[in-house]
């Protein structure tokens, strides 16, 4: 049986490894989200869903939405379906946290300090409030992918760990008239970046 000399075997192995790694190489993906006037949108969510349906077998990362100074912080949170979310109360008064949204109706009766985590096992938008303080509001977007990010002041979102492949990339913001609306593009990574989305927002 013919065998490669030692040096050639190493070279062939290195070449094969390079090809294997390049096929799944993880990339940073950037998107910009702007409104109908071209202004950047802060707190928009951008998420990527693999067209082939393949997702990493990892446990969804937990999240936290705290209450402080009679406000929810952060205003917008995004998690993968199946994630648990804590709602700690850092005020010196009680809060009663609830949501009547279809994906997951829940209520955390008046409490201070730590909360019982809530697991969100359906996708969609959760509008979260306080039964005692009507001005308190937060938005939780539950998505079926671990590849997501929020935009900053400049309207840019960066998904740092997006493997090569084909994706449906969607953008969402809580100021849209229809909370279930998405702007969607199909992309192949690596893609020319940033990819730009335009959302129609209601006036503040």
E-strand stretches of 9-73? 26-35, 45-50, 63-64, 66-68, 71-73
The pTM for the full model equals 0.86
Would you state the structure tokens that stand for residue 15, as one six-digit string? 């070449």
Three-state secondary-structure class, residue 9: helix
Q: Which fold has domain 25-55+145-204?
A: Immunoglobulin-like (2.60.40)
What are the pLDDT digits (tens) for 61-110? 999 999 999 999 999 999 999 999 999 999 999 999 999 999 999 999 99
Q: Considering the domain 57-144 in this protein, what is its CATH number?
A: 2.60.40.420
Say which residue the tokens 């590849």 belong to.
147
Domain layout of the chain by residue ranges:
25-55+145-204, 57-144
25-55+145-204 and 57-144 share one fold: yes
Please give the Cα distance from 40 to 5 (Å, whole number): 59
Q: What does the DSSP 8-state code read for residue 23?
A: H
Question: pLDDT by residue (tens digit) across 155-172?
Answer: 999 998 899 999 999 999
**Edge to edge, what strands does the sheet with 63-64 contain?**
63-64, 83-86, 118-120
Helix (H) or strand (E) holding 124: strand 124-130
């Amino acid at each position: 049986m013919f065998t490669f000399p030692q040096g050639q075997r190493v070279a062939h192995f290195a070449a094969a490894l390079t090809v294997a790694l390049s096929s799944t190489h993880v990339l940073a993906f950037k998107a910009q989200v702007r409104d109908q006037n071209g202004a950047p949108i802060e707190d928009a969510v951008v998420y990527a869903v693999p067209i082939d349906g393949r997702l990493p077998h990892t446990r969804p990362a937990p999240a936290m939405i705290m209450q402080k100074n009679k406000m929810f912080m952060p205003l917008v949170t995004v998690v993968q379906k199946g994630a648990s979310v804590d709602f700690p109360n850092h005020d010196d008064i009680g809060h009663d946290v609830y949501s009547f949204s279809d994906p997951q109706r829940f209520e955390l009766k008046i409490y201070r300090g730590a909360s019982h985590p809530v697991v969100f096992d359906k996708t969609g938008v959760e509008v979260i409030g306080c039964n005692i303080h009507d001005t308190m509001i937060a938005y939780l977007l539950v998505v079926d992918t671990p590849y997501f990010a929020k935009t900053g002041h400049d309207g840019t979102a960066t998904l740092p760990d997006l493997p090569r492949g084909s994706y449906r990339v969607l953008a969402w913001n809580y100021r849209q008239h229809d909370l279930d609306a998405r702007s969607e593009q199909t992309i192949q990574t690596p893609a020319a970046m940033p990819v730009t989305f335009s959302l129609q927002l209601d006036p503040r």
